[in-house]
Structure 1
Amino acid sequence: MNTKVSRIMLAGTGSGCGKTTVTCALLKALSMRGVKAASFKCGPDYIDPMFHSEIIGTKSRNLDLFLCGENTVKYLLSENGKDADVAVIEGVMGMYDGLGFADDTCSANHISRVTETPELLIAGVRGKSLSLLAELSGYLHFAENQVAGVILNHCSKAMYPVYKEMIEERLSIKVYGFLPPVAEAQLSSRHLGLVTAAEIDDLKEKMEALGRAAEASLDIDGILQLASSAPALSCEEIRVQQITEKPVSIAVAKDKAFCFYYEDNFTLLKRLGAELVPFSPLTDKEIPAGVCGLVLGGGYPEEYLQQLSRNTSMLVSVREAAAKGMPVYAECGGFMYLGKSIEKDGSVYTMAGVLEGRSHMTEKLVRFGYKSLTANRDNLMCRQGEAIRCHEFHYSDSDFSGDGFTASKGSRSWQAVCAGDTVFAGYPHLHLWSNLHFAENFVKKCEAFAWKSSSL
């Protein structure tokens, strides 16, 4: 299939250069102009897409070459970008930062090459004069890339003409504007990155301030023209059909404590026949009536431990549903919630007790990064020997992380995931487009539970 998608990638010189700020500013400016934008984030990040989604009013998506592979990345970009006026893709870390130190595999730059997407390189100018040229020159000539222009961040209106002339004359590359510091639009951070969009009371005002700044200082017409120059995306179509006789209701935990999800996972589950029903382990008394499956994603349960622990009716509801054999799929924070307890700052908080493990918060990242999972036995999601790629990002650990899968990263391997006939729960985050069979099996097991429940 060949699909015309007008698209641009905002790559950066490194983490902290302002990729998310500039991306949000551009998305908001486009929205204010009435331009329909689709947005994407390179890599496994959950938080940045939340900000994108709040601005454009539709869900942002992830593009991840390690988790999904080249064809699936191009397919998801095509499917989710084809009806938009422009697709805006935010990079990850520095534009060349990927799996390791040998090359740029799975980096933002790699994704731009695979998808033939023009890149705009975001560079901060604070504390730099001529050194900015050396920095930009290094990025432009280090390796094969699609860089077609530069955006300057933390740049004043007065200094912009000086930088622009210097860059365009000495490096022969176009500068597509700048973004000045916008004090009223500063975003707070915590241990996993920015606080989530839902936690910022004045987010609308912050984004409007960014949008006004972008409209005044970015060459938006030029950016749109550059995006339209991208060639058609070519990939093999991935056919996904409903596998259930009728839609099956699956409850999904969605609130401030559980909010880390890949939107394309939801799309896949729905195409297979799932009807997703959101609920809140924080505030609801029990899981939704009539559901035949349960999904508990990652997030920040550690920030709401007292509230989660005191909502005993919900804990009982989850525990009883699992005991009856309802299929349960849980990742990271959801996995912690299913355990006996979570310890933080010397206090222990009772959780659902579906699993035997007890979790505790840590001072540093544990088992961080990409890896592969291979099933040690048949389970809810797959058969023995089947594999799927995954990602972990957590400041916590458990005294039992499971032994249903063998996790591997390079030459190292270890046991992971509590996996049985009706439960898949562990620290790894899955992108279900990495192995469609996992999603298919989960939906089928939910349908089987629905039939079993209706016959009782």
Structure 2
Amino acid sequence: MVIAQAKVVLVSAIASGQGKTTTTAALARKLRGQGKVVRVFKTGPDFIDPMILERASGAPVYSLDLWMVGQSASQAMLTQAALEADVILIEGVMGLYDGRPSSADLARAFGVPVLAVLDVAAMAQTVGALALGLRDFGPVHLAGVIANRVASAGHGKMVAAAMRDIPLLGCLPRQAEVLPERHLGLVLPEEVGQIDAMLDTMAEQLELDMQAWDALPETQFEQTNPVAIPRLLAGKKIAVARDAAFAFIYAANLDTLRMLGAELLFFSPLADQPVPAQADALYLPGGYPELHAATLSTAQRWTASVRAAHAAGMPILAECGGMMALTDGLVDQEGQHWTMAGLLSGEVHMQKKLAALGAQAWHFSDGDLRGHTFHYSRFDTSLHPVAHTIKNAHYSDSDQGEAIYHCGHLYASYFHAYFASNPIAAARLFLRS
């Protein structure tokens, strides 16, 4: 039974670096400025792009993924968004057909048309061949193309003529200012002083063919049956570190903890705030501790409080950057050593080479807790892992993934868990065993 419908497109490209995030943000901001209610999703595991897209759209951005999130949960989120919004934008990951499952697989699973972003800075007519290839290789329903980094009106006309029967829905000129990046992707929105002005400028410069856009059909979604989540954390207060050093957290993780019955207490280690005294458990998500190591190394109240919480047997989950902050020390990319909280014996060394990337799962008796890993550091330690995650076989021939360390009631790993994939297993991490 159809219960909701909205105009939906999956924004993809031939590869990373083509301008998917910039275009999705510009499109969201432009449509929002026209009075449309816009919801944006991000395909696959990602933390930074959703922050930019949330700023552009004015609404939280959730992940869609056929493996990590699951098809039924993804459909439920799309259905709810279609009930609330006029337009749904889904930013793809990597190239359209990259990965298993790919962005194309996601689009086909929900009958969503694809909007291809093509960087035309160094080409003209050849862009038509790329568009036709993207459409026919799968195939997918290619709704149209937005040409990025168009040099002039004449350049735009050449691109449009090369599209044949594929609509050129819009053009985005070369940007005088672009969103800056670092080793894990774009910088955080709070680090860009004029982020809203930049988004407004991109929206203004996006030349959108509104007649062609309005002609795009709406996608229909059917009712889904919600899965009941037991309130295993009812009455529990969970402290959650949240600042520029601990910013990598799925919105769905916070929702899942609340649905499990927990009350969330946010605090900032960077501001030298201690773990809230009333907390029953502590969650340290990933982020950029390496960029704030000097501040964290002198945050005495934070350090004393987390040591005391651990000594008192408080359940602690530390993911990636959260784990890095609990080691004996961190050596940054300049070779500078910084003292960390010292709950995990060993040191973290930043490196220029990517250390790990991909979908993984942590096995529990209640099933798998799915998620991913993505880091540019290594942890040199004498600690013996209590377990390892398992790599998604689609991404690697090797089964063993990230090490999981267990010290007292502290679990630490480079693994980023997606709590909604197994709420019961996630709840157990915040309860005293």
Query: What TM-score, normalized by structure 1, do the two folds share?
Result: 0.87
Residue 191 (structure 2) pairs with residue 199 (structure 1): yes
1:319-367 per-position Cα deviation (integer Å, ceiling 9, x unaligned): 1111111111111000111111111233221111122232111221112
What are the residue-to-residue correspondences of 1:90-169 with 2, within 5 Å? 90-98=91-99, 105-155=100-150, 156-167=152-163
Amino acid at match of 1:211: A
2:210 and 2:44 map into 1 onto residues whose CA distance is: 25
1:421: Cα distance to partner? 6.2
Amino acid at match of 2:307: R
| Residue of structure 2 equivalent to 1:272 | 260
SS of the equivalent of 2:375 reads coil
Q: Contact (CA 8 Å) 1:252, 1:278: kept in 2 or not?
A: yes
1:404 and 1:359 map into 2 onto residues whose CA distance is: 19
What are the residue-to-residue correspondences of 1:21-100 with 2, within 5 Å? 21-98=22-99
Residue 231 (structure 2) pairs with residue 242 (structure 1): yes
Task: Provide structure 2 residue ranges, at least 5 long, that are not aligned to the other structure.
Answer: 392-396
| Residue of structure 1 equivalent to 2:337 | 348
2:335 and 2:122 map into 1 onto residues whose CA distance is: 43
2:419 and 2:411 map into 1 onto residues whose CA distance is: 13
Cα 1:188–1:386 shift into 2, 3 Å: same
1:285-322 per-position Cα deviation (integer Å, ceiling 9, x unaligned): 31223111111111110001110001122111011111
Q: Contact (CA 8 Å) 2:320, 2:415: kept in 1 or not?
A: yes
Residue 257 (structure 2) pairs with residue 303 (structure 1): no
Q: Which shows bigger deviation, 333-342 or 354-363?
A: 354-363
Amino acid at match of 1:165: A
Amino acid at match of 2:221: A
Residue 423 (structure 2) pairs with residue 436 (structure 1): yes
Amino acid at match of 2:426: A
1:260 and 1:81 map into 2 onto residues whose CA distance is: 27
Q: Which shows bigger deviation, 128-137 or 414-423?
A: 414-423
SS of the equivalent of 1:389 reads strand
SS of the equivalent of 2:255 reads helix
| Residue of structure 2 equivalent to 1:282 | 270
Amino acid at match of 2:16: S
1:161: Cα distance to partner? 2.6
Task: Provide structure 1 residue ranges, at least 5 long, that are not aligned to the other structure.
Answer: 99-104, 375-381, 450-456
Amino acid at match of 1:219: D
Q: Contact (CA 8 Å) 1:402, 1:415: kept in 2 or not?
A: no
Amino acid at match of 2:243: D
Which of 337, 341, 362 lines up with 2:351 in the alignment?
362
1:81 and 1:357 map into 2 onto residues whose CA distance is: 48
1:422: Cα distance to partner? 2.2
SS of the equivalent of 1:285 reads coil
Cα 1:259–1:64 shift into 2, 3 Å: same
2:374 and 2:74 map into 1 onto residues whose CA distance is: 21
Cα 1:132–1:354 shift into 2, 3 Å: same
Amino acid at match of 1:59: P
2:245 and 2:145 map into 1 onto residues whose CA distance is: 37
1:62 and 1:414 map into 2 onto residues whose CA distance is: 22
SS of the equivalent of 1:364 reads coil
1:366 and 1:159 map into 2 onto residues whose CA distance is: 41
Which of 203, 208, 212 lines up with 2:200 in the alignment?
208
1:415: Cα distance to partner? 6.0
Q: Aligned residues, how many?
A: 424
Identity %: 34
| Residue of structure 1 equivalent to 2:400 | 413
Amino acid at match of 2:182: R
1:62: Cα distance to partner? 0.9
Amino acid at match of 2:60: K
2:401 and 2:416 map into 1 onto residues whose CA distance is: 16
Amino acid at match of 2:316: V
Q: Contact (CA 8 Å) 1:14, 1:95: kept in 2 or not?
A: yes
2:253 and 2:215 map into 1 onto residues whose CA distance is: 32
Cα 1:387–1:244 shift into 2, 3 Å: closer
Query: What TM-score, normalized by structure 2, do the two folds share?
Result: 0.92
1:143 and 1:79 map into 2 onto residues whose CA distance is: 28
Amino acid at match of 1:153: N
| Residue of structure 1 equivalent to 2:167 | 174
Amino acid at match of 2:405: C
1:96 and 1:18 map into 2 onto residues whose CA distance is: 17
Residue 375 (structure 2) pairs with residue 394 (structure 1): yes
Q: Which shows bigger deviation, 199-208 or 269-278?
A: 269-278
Structure 1 or 2: more helix by fraction = 1
| Residue of structure 1 equivalent to 2:244 | 256
Q: Give the aligned CA root-mean-square deviation in angstroms.
A: 2.1
1:44-103 per-position Cα deviation (integer Å, ceiling 9, x unaligned): 1111100011122221111122212222222233234531222111111111111xxxxx
Cα 1:223–1:245 shift into 2, 3 Å: same
Which of 310, 318, 327 lines up with 1:330 in the alignment?
318
Cα 1:321–1:95 shift into 2, 3 Å: same
